[in-house]
Amino acid sequence: MENMKLLEKVVIAPEKPTERRQIFLSKIDLSLVVYQESVSFFDPPTNEMTFFEAYHSLCTALSKMLVPYDFLAGRLVPCLEEDNCFEIDSNGAGVVVVAARTDTKLSELGDLSSPKLKFRQLVALLDEEGDEERDLKDNPLLSIQLITSSGANETYYNSKLIFVAS
């Protein structure tokens, strides 16, 4: 995407304090751990809600959602009791939410119903330089990026989520 510009990057924590706990992940769970990047497109009705109203509404809703689903605000850490295993440290560290702007219009992306390699560029701001070298315990389990097009009232929603199926 041309001229992708970071507008704001925040870490959203649970609205209320939550109990810190470790959630053990079995070897079967760990075989199903994948980084899942998804891109959703939304062309909002005009004059309904501005990009920043939608962004702040999402941040507020996430903060509330992270109370009952506090593990999403945690981090993946090595298990202290078993070698070669991991657990979720439900520590309330938060999820990352990014607001960005691009000059690319939704119509310029072509067919949105099937994945394309160029969509990968839409999540570029979720990955900071040096992320691949960052310690696993410092990576959020959920990152979300909202992008608005400066050429139109369009919003792209991108998320990167570690799915741990059990």
- CA 35 and chain centroid, separation: 11
Q: How far apart are CA 111 and CA 105, in angstroms?
A: 13
Location of structure tokens 């509404």:
57
Q: Structural domain tally of the chain?
A: 1
Amino acid at 146: L
CB atoms within 10 A of CB 43: 14
CB atoms within 10 A of CB 94: 21
More confident residue, 33 or 57: 57
Residue 22 has pLDDT above 80, yes or no: yes
Q: What is the pLDDT of residues 99-135, one digit of tens each?
A: 888 887 777 777 877 777 777 777 777 666 555 556 7
The residue length of the chain stands at 166
pLDDT band at 81 (very low <50, low <70, confident <90, very high): confident
Strand ranges, E, within 86-134: 86-90, 95-102
What is the per-residue pLDDT for 3? 76
Domain span including residue 10:
5-127+136-163
Strand ranges, E, within the chain: 5-12, 21-24, 34-42, 75-78, 86-90, 95-102, 142-149, 155-163
3-state class (DSSP) for residue 52 = helix
Using alpha carbons only, what angle is made at residue 159 by residues 157 and 164, rounded to the nearest 5 degrees?
150
Q: What is the pLDDT of residues 24-38, one digit of tens each?
A: 887 777 776 666 677
Residue 42 has pLDDT above 60, yes or no: yes
Q: What is the CATH number of the domain that holds 107?
A: 3.30.559.10
CB atoms within 10 A of CB 22: 15
The residue-averaged pLDDT of 83-87 equals 82
Structure tokens at 133: 């070298």
Q: What is the pLDDT of residues 97-109, one digit of tens each?
A: 888 888 877 777 7
What is the per-residue pLDDT for 162? 40
Residue 164 has pLDDT above 60, yes or no: no
Q: How far apart are CA 8 and CA 112, in angstroms?
A: 26
